[in-house]
Structure 1
């Protein structure tokens, strides 16, 4: 028997999740033996309901929402016996993209096949788990701006936020410490990738693999505004890693510090100011993937 819970984040996608909820629930009921329904009307409520579902011993927690809701599902399901599935209904949907679940039909097919896959997670020093990318610097400033914007929806929101933040661009001191050593440099941004994409499909760490037990780290060092503008189109293809100003490395753990006032964002959510440490935990999550 498969006992699942559907956690609906009704405000995701400007109400898209609420409009989809009935259809999604009906589809899931055809694929599981029991389905509990939870509706979270705030981040705190969603987090509480996710923890409750896991405590109730459900086999699968299905999140209907965007990356914010998925992030809360990750917090509850990490290192538990409950697998996580995501039906995308948000703005970026980066975790659903890497899981290959573009629709509820994809989740239903995976549930019927009984497919379960181990998935690495990042664990931040303040106890927050992340599934996709942790970033700081220009990235996190873009995140703060994009999260405050009401228009447009989707990846274009991040594109406009990037352009807006260029006006305040400046490089600042960054310390990157891994098991391989310490690097001190002036940097524009740093991204610690468990998966390739953030910001609605931008492959900032194009070779990151959530099954290899390692982070891929991308650092954009000191660059002029003009140079960064010229680099932006390559972000959509992953070609930015070939730029002379970009440094990449792989590590099991990363400590980010420096006199820069940067704030770390993980899965698009504000985490804490630097310094912070992120550790890759292999197979810490079980996922339902297509």
Structure 2
């Protein structure tokens, strides 16, 4: 590998997990790759996105390294997906779902050392990504899960709330949405075959987990060239509350009201849903999600 390591850092990830010298330790470990380490100027999301794209497309970066949580990872994906430039992922957020599914160490400095060793050896793994397309030419890549049901509705409500702070917002939003929960009429087109269903939950996974370890698509494998689609049909609030704890172990898919599918492409049509990918707000339905084999080269 020739060129520099372009490093995209979100210092506020994980509620400031890397404050107090943590960033310096990560950068020192990355320097072990033997490449110049350049920290990208990224004061906000728009600047971070532009800097990452320039580093990959115009500035000769040997690799892009994202230091942060799933949101930082997703932002970096938009720059490297489908290119020959590999991505290093240093998990420093609260969820770190993709990093965990990829088998990376939980400790940021340890992971930075693993990335440095891989960069030094010119070693990267090919992993699948998912590509989401919607009206008006909208396109967004994701590595973990697209939420397009109750979970997306909760995210949307939580992101509009000013209080409480942190994870408590999602708890409050979950309770509020449970009280008004209703099934929606979905049309899912799986590899060209339409399926109509009244559903509470629809999730499309390239990997298994979202939300900090909830294994919503437990059989998803980012090396098989397929998407896993999990659908929770019409159910009562009580049933929903009983199923929810089973997401941690992925056993919810054994419930008779939950079905699983696999496809290379899925179209999702429904009213009143804004999708979330890798925990980040994407766009309203309808969308088309496509599995793209080997679209990511991951260091480590």
* Structure 1 gap segments, 5+ residues each: none
Is the 8 Å Cα contact of residues 8 and 17 (structure 1) preserved in structure 2?
Answer: no
Q: Closer, same or farther in 2 for the Cα pair 1:239/1:152, shift >3 Å?
A: farther
Paired residue for 1:264?
Answer: 275
Q: C-alpha displacement at 1:16, in angstroms? A: 2.6
Is the 8 Å Cα contact of residues 91 and 153 (structure 1) preserved in structure 2?
Answer: no
SS for the counterpart of 2:238 is: helix
Paired residue for 1:226?
Answer: 238
Aligned counterparts of 1:164 and 1:40: Cα–Cα separation in 2: 35
Aligned counterparts of 2:171 and 2:100: Cα–Cα separation in 1: 19
Aligned counterparts of 2:165 and 2:283: Cα–Cα separation in 1: 27
Whether 1:105 and 2:110 are equivalent positions in the alignment is: yes
Is the 8 Å Cα contact of residues 9 and 17 (structure 1) preserved in structure 2?
Answer: no
SS for the counterpart of 1:128 is: strand
**Aligned residue among 273, 277, 299 for 1:288:** 299
Aligned counterparts of 1:146 and 1:223: Cα–Cα separation in 2: 23
Aligned counterparts of 1:163 and 1:39: Cα–Cα separation in 2: 39
Aligned counterparts of 1:104 and 1:98: Cα–Cα separation in 2: 18
Aligned counterparts of 2:62 and 2:174: Cα–Cα separation in 1: 40
Aligned counterparts of 2:189 and 2:215: Cα–Cα separation in 1: 23
Q: Closer, same or farther in 2 for the Cα pair 1:30/1:24, shift >3 Å?
A: same
Deviations 1:84-143 (A, max 9, x none): 111112221112212222223123224314331111111111211111101112010122
Paired residue for 2:126?
Answer: 118
User: Equivalent residues in 2 for 1:139-288 (5 A)?
Assistant: 139-147=151-159, 153=166, 158=170, 161-179=173-191, 181-258=193-270, 260-288=271-299
* Structure 2 gap segments, 5+ residues each: none
Q: Closer, same or farther in 2 for the Cα pair 1:157/1:236, shift >3 Å?
A: farther
RMSD over equivalenced CA pairs, Å = 1.9
Q: Closer, same or farther in 2 for the Cα pair 1:85/1:146, shift >3 Å?
A: farther
Q: Closer, same or farther in 2 for the Cα pair 1:5/1:73, shift >3 Å?
A: same
Q: How many residues align?
A: 287
Aligned counterparts of 2:74 and 2:88: Cα–Cα separation in 1: 12
Give TM-score, length-normalised by structure 2.
Answer: 0.89
Which of 62-71 and 16-25 deviates more?
16-25
Is the 8 Å Cα contact of residues 180 and 251 (structure 1) preserved in structure 2?
Answer: no
**Aligned residue among 24, 28, 53 for 2:26:** 24
Paired residue for 1:43?
Answer: 45
